Amino acid sequence: MQRRHLIVAATLATSLPLVHTAAQAQDFPPKKPVTLVVGFAAGGSADIAARLIAKKLGENIGQSVVVDNKPGAGGNLAHTQVATGPSDGSVLLFGSIGPLSIAPHFMSVRYDPLKDLAPITMGVSFPNVLVVPASTGIKTLGEFVAKARREPGKFDFASTGPGSAAHLAGELLNDVAKIDTLHVPYKGGAPALQDVLGGRVTAFYAAPPTALPHIESGKLIPLATTGLTRPAYLPNVPTVAETFPGFNATNWYAFVASAKTPKPLLDRWNTELVKVLNTPEVRDSLLKHGQTASPSTREELGKFIASEYSKWGRIIRDRKITAD
């Protein structure tokens, strides 16, 4: 009997550290301040959505969620930072289509989006809108294409960085419309928009949150949206696909974290973020800024990112798109 007690005691002693570690892994919210990293400058579409979501998330978990803007290389610097950073659940990333499924195909990046970053939930999705300054006198996509064909190499277009959805939208239009417009990358939507408004760049595949106020004021002319259907907030603006069938360059932002983050924490963040994204006030606020809340399971997001990675990789190879 005494020997049996000793065996039980020894078993408990060896298992206690494991139990303690598992309990620590499930600490929620994390004891450290929670940071939501955004790979673009303040004032752009990603920043607007992230701050709306972070505010409600902080209220729900009883702890502030700080938005940390880390612009640079089309969002790749932020993705590298999170992929190689803390894995205790205290750092989340508002990941974007460019760094997660496009840029790794033609740029040197220090992370593998399918291995080094763990999916949590889709955040928001929306088409970009091709806009030009009112001063150009261009009113329609047809006029834009016709003028670009007559003056090859003269038009340029802004994007939020190499490999971003805006960049690929411009390259796709170049290909299907047989035009030659020059890509001008920026560190985010806000600085790109300022140069378009100032007439320093001809066009911009802008995210609706940043473009809508200037469309309403008449400073920017919307020529077309980049999704397959017209969004409810721009019902009179045609899609590029109405002129060039099959054209589709939808933008999206998703929540991810370091792949080393314990699964219980990733699952809990999914629960909390889906709750926020399903909150009527958050959904309505996002929609007012031209973005649709699109919560998902972790598995659904993982499959979607892999699908987008494959799709854009094929297009980049076929069209020989480079970061230059």
Is residue 95 one of the residues assigned to a domain? yes
In a domain, 48, yes or no: yes
Q: pLDDT (tens digit, 0 to 9) for every residue of the chain, 324 residues total?
A: 454 544 444 454 454 444 444 444 468 988 889 999 999 989 888 999 999 999 999 999 999 999 999 998 889 999 999 999 999 999 999 999 999 999 999 889 999 999 999 999 999 999 999 999 999 999 999 999 999 999 998 999 999 888 888 998 998 999 899 999 999 999 888 899 999 999 999 999 998 878 999 999 999 999 999 999 999 889 999 999 999 998 999 899 999 999 999 999 999 999 999 999 999 999 999 998 889 999 999 999 999 999 999 989 988 998 788 776
Assess if residue 203 is contained within a domain. yes
The answer on 238 and 133 residing in a single domain is: yes
DSSP of 99-157, one letter per residue? IIIIGGGTS--SS-TTTTEEEEEEEEEEE-EEEEEGGG---SHHHHHHHHHHSTTT-EE
User: Are both 134 and 107 inside the same structural domain?
Assistant: no
Looking at residue 296, the DSSP 8-state letter turns out to be -
Statement to judge: residues 114 and 150 lie in one domain:
no
DSSP alpha helices (H): ranges in 198-297?
208-217, 263-277, 280-288
Q: What does the chain come to in residues? A: 324
Q: Note whether 238 and 133 are same-domain residues.
A: yes
**Same domain flag for 122 and 135:** no
Same domain, 295 and 231: no
One domain for residues 133 and 122: no
Give how many domains the chain has, as a whole number.
2
Which among 119, 108, 126, 101 is positioned nearest to 44, based on CA atoms?
126
Last residue of a domain, one of 209, 242, 275: 242
Asked if residue 134 is part of any domain, the answer here is yes
Give the domain-ending residue among 188, 223, 242.
Answer: 242
Pairing mode, if any, of strands 65-69 and 220-225? unpaired
47 occurs within a structural domain: yes
214, 242, 270 - which closes a domain: 242
198 and 147 assigned to the same domain: yes
* Domain shared by 158 and 79, yes or no: no
Any domain includes 23: no
What is the tens place of the pLDDT at every residue in 253-307? Answer: 999 999 999 999 999 999 999 999 999 999 999 998 889 999 999 999 999 999 9
| pLDDT value of position 209 | 79
Q: What is the CATH number of the domain that holds 194?
A: 3.40.190.10
Which structural domain, as residue segments, surrounds residue 291? 33-126+251-319
Query: pTM score > 0.75 for this model?
Result: yes
In a domain, residue 11? The reply is no
Amino acid at 38: V
Q: Do 227 and 255 fall within a single domain? A: no
Tell whether 133 and 166 lie within a shared domain. Answer: yes
Q: Are residues 272 and 283 in the same domain?
A: yes
Q: Tell me, yes or no, whether 156 lies in a domain.
A: yes
